[in-house]
Amino acid sequence: MNDELVLVTGGTGFVGSHCIVRLLDAGYQVRTTLRSLARADDVRALVRAGGADPAGLEYAQADLLHDDGWHAAAAGAIYVLHVASPFPVRQPKDASELIAPARDGSLRVLRAARDARVRRVVLTSSFAAVGYSSRPDRPFTEEDWTDPDDPGLSPYVRSKAIAERAAWDFVDYEGGDLELSVVNPVGIFGPALGADLSSSVALLRALLTGRVPAVPHGQTSGVDVRDVADLHVRAMMHPDASGERFLAVSGEPITYPDLARLLRERLGDDARRVPRIVIPDWVVRIGANLDADLRAMLPELNRSRRASSEKAQSVLGWRPRPRDEAIIASAESLLRLGLV
């Protein structure tokens, strides 16, 4: 048993619960934050579903929107994995609904970590903070940044770019000895442990239930949540990870028609409701005048945003599962949990 305490924010979340499982399996002492301690039983159930023993797991009540509880949550921790952050199924009309908890919440966690003399914080950011402004003729890398002032960005993309920039600025100017590492995942697939899903897994659920009758000519990239959790722990421990960003991506992007085809081929009758119809681009453009979700698709039509995980692999020795394996693991877990 390792006597080093790790604080994980957002223990009920898709990524947060997998991070807890990964840390417990590695022998760490773990404390997690919850907006309400009434959800402690939910976390224990998620951890058990992930194959770990939650007996020694600690809980602290803290909310990203409020100052209360964060210093107590960080007290005694050697490391912090700041995973909690909103990811909406639908984009809000008011961007501040996402920007405030993402930016101000990260700063609350960082201040508490600094004051508690935490050694290193690993922040879960996103590819959204990397690859939504510049258009390089190469895969995106950690050197690339999304410009949050780009008027075409969605509130979610803006929130991730703003929050990550604010975190780096805080550590540079107010962090003292606090170290920061950042993980920037693309769409996160992999096995769900409960009903709290990533947006990517929620998309699979919508496809499998037939709630989405057709798919557009868009693309998404993928990575397995278990590998994202593993990358967090590697970034937490590796001496060369301090002050660095790490993209988490497995393989090439997949088009939505190919994603639907993969589900049908691998799941058989369980994927009978997955759509076969592809929405013509002109339909998306017309529908965007009336529907915010279709409007958000416009910049992504027929666009590939390739990203490289070479840095995580070469510096940290990270080896992700194949993209298709992550997607199918998601779908199988939804079936196993009775969510489709």
Supply the residues annotated as catalytic. Answer: 160
Q: How far apart are CA 129 and CA 162, in angstroms?
A: 8
Q: How far apart are CA 29 and CA 77, in angstroms?
A: 9
Alpha-helical runs (H) found in 224-318:
225-237, 256-267, 281-287, 292-297, 310-316
Beta-bridge mates of residue 183 = 124, 246
Given a contact cutoff of 8 angstroms between Cβ atoms, the answer to whether 227 and 309 are in contact is no
Phi, psi angle pair for 184, to nearest 5°? -120, 85
Q: How far apart are CA 69 and CA 72, in angstroms?
A: 5
Alpha-helical runs (H) found in 50-143:
70-74, 96-115
What type of residue is 334? L
Nearest-5° Cα angle at 230, 225 to 231: 95
Q: How far apart are CA 202 and CA 196, in angstroms?
A: 9
CA distances in angstroms from 178 to 69, 82, 236, listed in the order given: 20, 14, 12
